[in-house]
Amino acid sequence: MPARGIIIAAPASGSGKTTLTLGLLRLLARDGVAVGSAKVGPDYIDPAFHAAASGRPCYNLDSWAMRPASLGALAARAARNAEILVCEGVMGLFDGAFVPAGQPDGSSADLAAMTGWPVVLVIDGRGMTGSAAAVLSGFARLRPDIRIKGVIFNRVAGERHKAAIANACARYCPEVRLLGFLPAQTSLAMPSRHLGLVQAAERADLQDFLDAAAILVAEHLDVGALVELAEPSRLGGGGSSPALIAPLGQCMAVASDTAFAFAYPALLESWRAAGAELSLFSPLADECPAPDCDAVYLPGGYPELHAGLLAGNDGFLGGLRRAAQRGAILYGECGGYMVLGRGLEDAEGKRHAMAGLLGLETSFARRRLHLGYRRAALCADGVLGTAKDGFRGHEFHYASILAEEGAPLFAIADAGGTPLGIAGLVAGNVAGSFVHLIDRS
């Protein structure tokens, strides 16, 4: 029987749903419950925290970027061998891409409607008493195809504050179960940087943080009642890995460290399921791709924070050049794309030489936000497939392009289909772009 699922969502980003989700995952896992997790949308950072809290891989579920078969298979994979699946939402419950009416927009609400998983809403209670019930009632009744079954109020000041909110909710929205109140906890604030939270692997205090979050959840929430609200998914799909994007080769070297951490577990699993052998290497440790690999994948991450170190790692950069010379496919996304270029300008404006395999110059000193879902169609046959092949993915970076010289890789459009021009570069067996690919179109 598939695991029962629940979605932890909120009216807006910053309401506290990530800390609550992590505390719940750690508490259930610590108590011997087989708990799986998922994250709505394309985020790379939160899933690593989930995995640390639960001891199991966390899978992204994206109603806009994934085909229905992929979404169903990954939801089933996340729930496999679990008693309950906890899925953390993205942004506010109804926040998604701007698309034509009736099309999936990637929001938490869309996933709730597709799966049938009930929603537990986390509301920041600061500065509200009776108005908290109005927020809850409005969210609970906006879309009849989703069900908000529980509510948690965060950053509540004290007993009188709790009583006022509880009375208003009982009067105006009695059908939603009140699961508890969390006090403001500055000690559990999660540090962030330009692309979101500081990565889980970079936090020396991670285990202490997760344990403290679990204690907070245990002391202030009715966890048993929350677990009772979960229900099985309505999505079809088996537990096998879906074929997201074809492997780049038979023996693939994958960059993996804190500078190149943005690789989806589901994508790597799908490559292994398709018969590819993956070997991991650390560019920060000056490791080079396996000498017998026929493909190299450089995922995104934070190479701009380590540009000086990477520029001096001759073993790594030389290994990339040798792989390209012997005909191996090299493909980089976002940060990986920047490293395949000629040079990278750091936050202080100092240029660092990179691999020089693509005609790309980028700057992190001249920052500008690029954010959104992307439709990507190959401009010509090449390392990722044929010109008829299309993909869906997302773009999220602050780097500016100073020069992008050569043949383009993709013609791209936004989520609604508005053309955005060309993106990326391809030079023979080397290619890359700022788009993080999620699934085929």
Q: DSSP letters along 200-229, please?
A: GGG-TTHHHHHHHHHHHHHHHB-HHHHHHH
| Number of independent structural domains in the chain | 2
213 and 258 in a single domain? The answer is: no
Q: Locate tokens 């050569």: which residue?
A: 406
| Alpha carbon distance 76, 225 (integer Å) | 24
In a domain, 243, yes or no: no
Q: Give the chain's residues under pLDDT 50.
A: none
| Alpha carbon distance 404, 394 (integer Å) | 20
Known catalytic residue at 334: yes
Q: Locate tokens 């969502």: which residue?
A: 9
Structure confidence at residue 194 (pLDDT): 58
Q: Locate tokens 């509510």: which residue?
A: 151
Its pTM surpasses 0.85: yes
383 and 255 in a single domain? The answer is: yes
25 and 84 in a single domain? The answer is: yes
209 and 255 in a single domain? The answer is: no
Encoded amino acid at 60, one letter: N
In a domain, 244, yes or no: no
Compute the radius of gyration of the chain from its Cα atoms: 22
Structure confidence at residue 64 (pLDDT): 98
- With 0-12 / 13-18 / 19 or more C-beta atoms within 10 angstroms meaning exposed / middle / buried, residue 1 is exposed
Structure confidence at residue 401 (pLDDT): 96
* Contact by Cβ (8 Å): 413, 362: no
169, 173, 288, 334: which one is catalytic?
334
Range(s) of the domain holding residue 258: 251-440
Of 205, 232, 259, the one marking the end of a domain is 232
In a domain, 246, yes or no: no
Q: Residue 20 has which token pair?
A: 């609550």
If we measure between CA atoms, which residue out of 149, 116, 122 comes closest to residue 23? 122
Q: Residue 264 has which token pair?
A: 């989806």
341 and 418 in a single domain? The answer is: yes
Of 200, 232, 264, the one marking the end of a domain is 232
Q: Residue 324 has which token pair?
A: 């390209």
Of 178, 205, 232, the one marking the end of a domain is 232
| Alpha carbon distance 58, 31 (integer Å) | 19
pLDDT tens-digit map of 115-154: 999 999 999 999 999 999 999 999 999 999 999 999 999 9
322 and 268 in a single domain? The answer is: yes
In a domain, 269, yes or no: yes
The DSSP annotation for 251-297 comes to EEEEE-STTS-B--HHHHHHHHHTT-EEEEE-TTTT----TT-SEEE
421 and 305 in a single domain? The answer is: yes
In a domain, 158, yes or no: yes
HSE on the CB side for 278, CA within 13 Å? 19
In a domain, 238, yes or no: no
Instruction: Identify the CATH number of the domain in which residue 168 sits.
Output: 3.40.50.300
| Alpha carbon distance 175, 178 (integer Å) | 9
257 and 210 in a single domain? The answer is: no
Contacts of residue 353, Cβ cutoff 8 Å, sequence gap at least 6: 311, 342, 343
Instruction: Identify the CATH number of the domain in which residue 267 sits.
Output: 3.40.50.880
In a domain, 245, yes or no: no
SS3 per residue for 305-325: HHHHHHHHCHHHHHHHHHHHH
Which long-range CB contacts under 8 A does 137-143 form with residues at least 24 apart? Answer: 137/172, 137/173, 139/11, 139/93, 139/94, 140/173, 140/175, 140/176, 142/94, 143/94, 143/109, 143/113
97 and 161 in a single domain? The answer is: yes
156 and 293 in a single domain? The answer is: no
49 and 81 in a single domain? The answer is: yes
322 and 399 in a single domain? The answer is: yes
Cα dist from 65 to 102, 124, 145, 330, whole Å: 15, 29, 21, 24
In a domain, 240, yes or no: no
Work out the widest C-alpha separation in the chain, in whole angstroms.
72
pLDDT tens-digit map of 375-413: 999 999 999 999 888 999 999 988 999 999 999 999 999
Contacts of residue 31, Cβ cutoff 8 Å, sequence gap at least 6: none
Cα dist from 300 to 9, 257, 426, whole Å: 27, 10, 17
Structure confidence at residue 238 (pLDDT): 60
